[in-house]
Structure 1
Amino acid sequence: MTIRRLTQDDLDACTRLAEDRDWLPERHKWRLLFEVGEVYGIDAPDGDGLASTNVLTRYGDDQAVVSMVLTASRYARQGLARRLMEHAMEQAGDRTVSLFATDNGRPLYEQMGFRAIGGVVKHTGVFEGEPSGRTRPAAEADLDDIVKLDAELFGTDRSALLGRMFDFGERVRIADGGFGHCWRNDDNTVIGPVVARDEESARALIGDLALDAGGEVRMDLDEAMDGLVTWAVAHGMGHPWRTARMVCGGDLPGDRARQFLPFMQALG
């Protein structure tokens, strides 16, 4: 079975594969991944859609993220995910590669040399609170400052991705020394990324974005940030579900303590 680079023409097949594995279809998210990443797949031998997929997203010359590692249930345990992972790792070259792993996927990643460096816990709920008065809506004229701050704190170039926030997302907000974004997924509004020089600014950005969104929101909180997790839970965020952050090939660049929420787990 041949690995090929997928295109937007394969979007329907990708969403059907996701639903086969009891994931949401997430068409909006898939479209972004096609724009900023490299989507790889193996066609199903029976002619019915895709047998397996993954996505490689590169940031500059030193970092990459692997995501959307999916195999159709009827082709499970036939080595397809491993073949696609090996292909993505080849394409990544000398970059440090990271991903978020479920318990089911973690054994494969460990066999391929990934190591766990922490965890992220998804919390969902209706945020309860008042506007902070510390943030304001961002405009595209703010993008240069956003990209500059992100390059410093994230540690590599995400300008191609960040430039899409204003079209892809629902809101972008900035604070003194920070920025945040939220985007609509199938069943909730995801808060992220949030990058800031201090936790108080991050809380203001997260809270104001959540209040802007209304309804159910999702926050993928670093389990090591005890204070932020406690704050979020106190403001109505619950239903925790953990994934492991894993890395292969070196240490992640940047200041992880100031990266408060990822854009989405699929993008690191």
Structure 2
Amino acid sequence: MNNLTSKTFNIEKLHTNHINQLITLSKAVGWDYDHDEISTIMKTGTIVGCKDSSQTIIASAAIISYGDGSLTSIGMVIVHPQYRGFGLGRRVTDACLHLNKESCPTMLIATEEGKPLYQKMGFKEVGQVRKYTANQVMHKSNIVHNATLIRGIDENDFATIVEIDACAFGAKRSTFLTERLNQSVIGLVSLNKDRQITGYGMVIETPANLIIGPIVSSTAEEAIMLINKLVENRNGPVRIDMPQYNQLVNDHLLLIGFSEVAQPPIMMLHSDGLPQRNGNLYAVAAQIFG
């Protein structure tokens, strides 16, 4: 039994030399954060951690600021199972909030277990994310796909991607998109008949699966085209998290082998709802990034 009290631990900002410990902490709760994902989080935001007397990280949380600081996202709230019940989840989350601008709208995508804590801290549920996974994607030959409208991202596309992402997400996130593109194994843009960029999609590889997202698209049909292209050569587990329900995309995911496995709540602090969005965000990058 641990003899931990509020006086026997410190919370501090973590750095790249802590990444291996954070991976170990993640595995302790069954999550699959890897070196590349944690590195991206550190480059786009701040991770704080709580250490025990042996300097082992036993709890963590991260905060990412977007645009001019008008919106932040909190995630990676992890408490080692042996240290639950000491209030460490609240402590690391509070530490992140103290890095925030006063009364800045802050979002997080909670676990059901964490939801009561965030409600006590003043967060309100404003929506849900739909989490889908597939052990193996089935490639349907009868799905219409015009390959000429999809191509790989090149450096000249980036400014447009940032702009259409800002309208879909509700805040500009140039730094995050730069790091996510560097991390991605595939990045695609979709084009209209005038060859103007109307959407984009990325995927990253983790030890557990391929994660699709973000996906921004002007229509559900276009989002499906991006999903098809992003997974067309994939063998193995795949995951996608949708921040809004769309019947057409939902039905397509079920058709190609996905199952809906969870609906984690989207929660906000200092706001009664998400920032204004145009409805074009079809997949989040990961729950930590909002």
Please indicate, yes or no, whether the TM-score normalized by the shorter chain is above 0.5: yes
Say whether residues 1:141 and 2:152 are aligned partners.
no
Aligned residues: 267
**Per-residue deviation, 1:58:** 0.6
Change (3 A) 1:17 1:190: same
Where does 1:19-58 land on structure 2 (aligned, <5 Å)? 19-45=27-53, 47=54, 49-58=56-65
Distance 1:10 1:259 in 2: 33
SS of 2:160's equivalent in the other structure is helix
Q: Is the 8 A contact 2:130 2:263 kept in 1?
A: yes
Distance 1:4 1:256 in 2: 37
Where does 1:48-127 land on structure 2 (aligned, <5 Å)? 49-60=56-67, 61-93=69-101, 94-125=103-134, 126-127=136-137
Change (3 A) 1:137 1:158: same
Say whether residues 1:249 and 2:270 are aligned partners.
yes
**Per-residue deviation, 1:200:** 1.4
Say whether residues 1:18 and 2:26 are aligned partners.
yes
Q: Is the 8 A contact 2:45 2:64 kept in 1?
A: yes
Distance 2:21 2:75 in 1: 17
Range that drifts further, 53-62 or 84-93: 84-93
Distance 2:18 2:29 in 1: 17
1:109-132 deviations in Å (ceiling 9; x for gaps): 011111112211221123323554
SS of 1:24's equivalent in the other structure is coil
**Per-residue deviation, 1:159:** 0.5
Work out the percentage of aligned pairs sharing the same amino acid.
24
Residue 209 of structure 1 corresponds to 230
Query: What letter corresponds to residue 267 of structure 1 in structure 2?
Result: F
TM-score normalised over the length of structure 2:
0.87
1:242-261 deviations in Å (ceiling 9; x for gaps): 21111111132231621100
Query: What letter corresponds to residue 210 of structure 2 in structure 1?
Result: T
Residue 198 of structure 1 corresponds to 219
Distance 2:43 2:244 in 1: 30
Q: Which runs of 5+ in 2 are unaligned?
A: 1-8, 192-197
Residue 231 of structure 1 corresponds to 252
CA RMSD of aligned residues (A): 1.7
